[in-house]
């Protein structure tokens, strides 16, 4: 078989549906026709796979019909041969005899033809009685024991047209408004004193964000003095400021965390402790994610101790992964932070020894 292909695309539209129609045709030449007459009924000769209208196809040629009642006829079928045939393809197609294999750009109208659905349940469409063999013998199309078939294909897809939008809804700016509320302290009804600095805030918001703040400000453990100033010990002012910002906006200001590597690691550690203290689980996860990027020989001991003391499983696993390298483990054990780890978290040291033993035995 000799094949040739050409394609064209047009996009008519109607009402609220845009109909996208890709059109094209494929040429198949049957050489040595007289020899194909020996092929049994129901057996086909298949064209090479070709691409047309964005899909893969084959043309099936049955010299003696595809079934017993068409044994005196030539049958032709178009087969969808995509890698994934689960996606349905709607197409119109027609076969006709032509005189040459040259690419005639003229497209024949397919508008009167039915639309066939190709897919996993029905991969092919065809004409059982395309032409009677004796009629082909008498026709002008059979020349030098050869004839040529053209298959026109039009693939149709419907694209729903979105209704015009007259109203555009902006993204939520609630966090910005709540951030402004923190900055202006308008309506604030509680003040915190941290490391010599004071922070005005709103009881209702903090209570809604943290079970610890809820109990402290409204619950049975409400501290004496909550009507005036609440003193927060063992915390830096900048850490508490970042905690409040997260409570109001669920985010942190970029300038909250310094760009210096060592100082940034320290800030994330302090903020993780604060997040755990006031039960801000999402902030705690944010800090763990950031600290995973700061694990090195000099910091792994401190970060591992922190992860153990504040129940940070993901961060702990990251530290163990780093220490699974014998080189990293040997270098880390010589640091002061690791000596502190051995004193403050003996259970972690036992796990590390077990891990090291498994590594050596392997």
> pLDDT by residue (tens digit) across 276-311?
999 999 999 999 999 999 999 999 999 999 999 999
What's the pLDDT band for 101 if we cut at 50, 70, 90?
Answer: low
User: What's the rounded Cα separation, in Å, for the pair 103 and 279?
Assistant: 74
Angstrom distances, CA of residue 9 to CA of 55, 159, 184, 229 = 14, 15, 61, 74
107 pLDDT exceeds 60?
A: no
pLDDT of residue 249: 95
Which residue matches tokens 């600290």? 291
pLDDT of residue 157: 78
3 pLDDT exceeds 60?
A: no
Overall average pLDDT of the 259-269 stretch: 81
Answer whether 0.85 is exceeded by the pTM.
no
pLDDT of residue 267: 92
**Which comes out higher in pLDDT, residue 7 or 41?**
41
pLDDT of residue 342: 83
Overall average pLDDT of the 121-143 stretch: 90
Overall average pLDDT of the 135-163 stretch: 86
pLDDT of residue 22: 82
Overall average pLDDT of the 221-234 stretch: 72
pLDDT of residue 362: 52
Q: Is 123 exposed, middle or buried (0-12, 13-18, 19+ CB in 10 A)?
A: middle
Return all residues near 183 (Cβ < 8 A) that are at least 6 apart. Answer: none
What's the pLDDT band for 14 if we cut at 50, 70, 90?
Answer: very low
Tokens standing for residue 151: 């298959």
Identify the helix (H) or strand (E) that includes residue 288. helix 281-292
The rounded mean pLDDT for the chain is 85
Question: Other CB atoms closer than 10 Å to residue 305's CB: what's the count?
Answer: 21
pLDDT of residue 159: 63
According to the per-residue pLDDT averaged within each range, which of 102-116, 132-146, 209-223, 340-354 is highest? 132-146
What's the pLDDT band for 54 if we cut at 50, 70, 90?
Answer: confident
According to DSSP, the β-strands at 229-232 and 190-194 are parallel
Buried b (16+ CB within 10 A) or exposed e, 67-100: eeebeebbbbbbbbbbeebeeebebbbbbebeee
Alpha-carbon torsion, ordered 98, 104, 110, 115, to 10 deg: 80
């Amino acid at each position: 078989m000799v094949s040739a292909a050409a394609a064209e695309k047009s996009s008519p539209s109607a009402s609220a549906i845009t109909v996208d129609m890709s059109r094209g045709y494929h040429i198949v030449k049957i050489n040595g026709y007289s020899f194909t007459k020996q092929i049994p009924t129901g057996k086909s000769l298949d064209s090479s796979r070709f691409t047309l209208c964005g899909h893969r196809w084959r043309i099936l040629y049955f010299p003696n019909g595809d079934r017993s009642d068409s044994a005196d006829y030539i049958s032709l079928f178009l087969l969808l041969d995509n890698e994934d045939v689960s996606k349905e393809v709607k197409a119109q197609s027609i076969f006709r005899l032509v005189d040459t294999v040259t690419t005639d750009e003229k497209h024949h109208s397919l508008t009167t033809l039915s639309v066939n659905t190709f897919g996993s349940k029905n991969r092919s469409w065809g004409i059982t009685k395309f032409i009677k063999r004796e009629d082909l013998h008498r026709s002008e199309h059979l020349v030098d024991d050869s004839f040529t078939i053209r298959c026109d294909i039009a693939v149709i897809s419907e694209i729903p047209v979105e209704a015009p939008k007259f109203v555009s809804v902006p993204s939520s700016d609630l966090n910005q408004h709540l951030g402004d509320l923190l900055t202006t302290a308008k309506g604030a009804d509680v003040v915190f004193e941290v490391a010599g600095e004071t922070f005005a805030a709103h009881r209702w918001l903090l209570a809604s964000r943290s079970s610890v703040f809820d109990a402290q400000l409204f619950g049975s453990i409400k501290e004496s003095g909550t009507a005036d100033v609440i003193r927060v010990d063992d915390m830096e002012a900048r850490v508490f400021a970042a905690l409040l910002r997260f409570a109001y906006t669920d985010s942190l200001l970029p300038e909250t965390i310094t760009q210096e590597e060592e100082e940034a690691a320290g800030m994330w550690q302090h903020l993780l402790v604060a997040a755990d203290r006031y039960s801000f689980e999402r902030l705690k996860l944010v800090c763990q994610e950031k600290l995973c990027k700061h694990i090195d020989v000099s910091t792994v001991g401190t970060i591992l101790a922190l992860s153990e003391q504040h129940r940070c499983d993901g961060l702990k696993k990251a530290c163990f992964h780093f220490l699974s390298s014998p080189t990293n483990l040997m270098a880390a054990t010589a640091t002061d932070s690791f000596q502190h780890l051995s004193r403050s978290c003996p259970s972690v040291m036992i796990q590390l020894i077990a891990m090291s033993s498994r590594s050596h035995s392997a």
